[in-house]
Amino acid sequence: MAGAESVGGNAATEQRDSWVTGTLAVFCLASTVVTVVAGLIQVSFGEYSMTFLQAWKAVFNPAVIFDLNAWVSFLFGTERPEMSTDSIVVWNLRLPRVFVGIITGATLAVSGAIFQAVTRNELASPFILGVSSGAGFAVLATLVVFSGLAPFLPLIAALGGTLAFGVVYAIAWKGGTSPVRLVLAGVIVNMVFQSLQQGLFFFADDLGVVQTAIAWITGSLTGTGWEEVRIAILPALISIGIALAGARQLNVLMLGENTARSLGMRVERVRFFLSGVAILAASVAIAVAGVVSFFGLVVPHIVRNTVGGDYRRLMVGCVFAGPALMVTADVGARLAMGGTQMPVGVVTGLIGGPYFLYLMRKQQSMGEL
C-alpha cells in the first residue's frame, strides 16, 4: 500500500509539474500574441497617414525582413538601403518604439522579480527600493550636464542605481535587514534622489533639454528609435540571460538564509551578485525609457499568480509578460487622449500605485522594524 501511495504521489507530482509547464507555455504564447497585436496597433498610428493594411504590409515586407543590409543599418547605424516610403516610416520611425517597449518591459519585469527574491519581500521593485531614482538621477545628470557621455547611459544608470541600492541597504542594515526596513529606506532614498533630479533643472539652459528630461522622468517611449535599441539590446540580453541562469539560486534564497547556507550557498555573495544583475536590468530600461514607475512591482505578481512561484518558470514568464504589458500600456498612453501622447509612466503609475496599496493591505503582517 505504501508503495502504491508513493507511486500515486509521484504521478500526482508529475501531473502537477506538467500542468504548470503547460500553463507557462500557454501564458507565454498569449503574452506573445498580445505583444504582436499591440505592436501592430502601435505602428498603424502617426503623423504620416497610413491604413492598417498598409502599415501591416510594411511590417511584414519580406524585402526588409530578409535584407541583411537593412538589419545591419538598423543595429549598427550604417547607411540605410533603399526602401518604400511606407517601409521607411514603419521600420525607421514606428517599430523601434515597439522594440524599445519590449526591451524595457522585459528588463523591468526581470529586475523586479529578482529584487523580490533577494530581499524576500513581495513589495520590492526597482522603483520602491530607490534604484530607479538613483539611476534616474545619474542619467538626468548626463543629459543635462554631461551630454557628451550619452552613449554610456546604461553604464552610468547602473552606477547610479548601484549607489542608491547600496545606500538603501546601509540604511536598512541593523544586524541584518527586514522587508519593512528595506521599503522604508527605499522610500527615503527615492525622495532624496527625486529632489536632486529636480535640482538639476536649474542647470539646464536649453528648453528642449528640459522638455526631454521632464518626459524622461515620467517614463516615456515617445521619440525612441534605433539608437535606443542599439544602446540597450546588449546589456539587456546579458542581464536577462544571467537572470534566467540564476533562477535556481533565487529559489534557494526564497527558502531563507539559514536553509540556503545549510545547502552550501554563500548567501551574501549570491545576493549581491544577483542584485547587481537586477540593477543592470533596471538601468537598461531607465537609460532608454526613463523612470517607468511600479512596473517591476506589478508584472512579477501577475506572472506568479498565473504560473506559480518557481523562479525557473517565473523568470521566463516575466520575459514574455513584461513586453506584452509595456507595449499595451504604451498603446493606451498614445491613444487615450487623441492627439496628445501621454507618458507611459503615467499609465503604469495609475495602475501600479493602487496595486501596491492592495498588496500592503493583503499582507497579514508587515514584519518588525
Q: pLDDT digits over 215-226, tens only?
A: 777 888 988 899
Q: Looking at residue 6, what is its pLDDT?
A: 46
At residue 178, the pLDDT reads 67
Counting residues of the chain whose pLDDT is more than 90, the rounded percentage is 38
3-class DSSP assignment, residue 122: coil
Average pLDDT over residues 46-60: 90
CA distance 186 to 169: 9
What is the reported pLDDT for 313?
A: 94
Rounded Cα–Cα distance for residues 67 and 77 (Å): 15
Question: What cell was used for 299?
Answer: 508584472
pLDDT for position 34: 97
Residue 337: strand, helix, or coil? strand
Distance separating alpha carbons of residues 267 and 273, to the nearest angstrom: 10
Q: Which three cell numbers stand for residue 52?
A: 492598417
Q: Are 355 and 298 in contact (CB under 8 A)?
A: yes
Name the residue among 80, 83, 102, 94 with its Cα closest to residue 52.
Answer: 94
Residue 148 has pLDDT above 80, yes or no: no
CA proximity to 44, closest of 85, 86, 81 = 86
**Nearest Cα to Cα of residue 281 among 301, 265, 295:** 295
Q: In the predicted model, what is the mean pLDDT of the chain?
A: 84
Residues 6 or more apart whose Cβ sits within 8 Å of residue 254: 117, 120, 309, 311
pLDDT of residue 8: 42
- Give residues with Cβ within 8 angstroms of 369, minimum separation 6: 178, 180, 181, 184
Q: 3-state class of 5 per DSSP?
A: helix
What is the phi-psi region of residue 225: left when phi exceeds 0, alpha when psi lies from -120 to 50, beta otherwise?
Answer: beta
pLDDT band at 365 (very low <50, low <70, confident <90, very high): low
320: its cell numbers: 514574455
Residues 6+ apart with CB under 8 A from 197: 133, 136, 137, 140, 217
Contact predicate 136/285, CB 8 Å: no
Question: Which pLDDT score is estimated for 12?
Answer: 41
**pTM of the predicted model, to two decimals?**
0.87
- Report domain extents, the chain: 22-359
What CATH architecture applies to the domain 22-359?
A: Orthogonal Bundle (1.10)
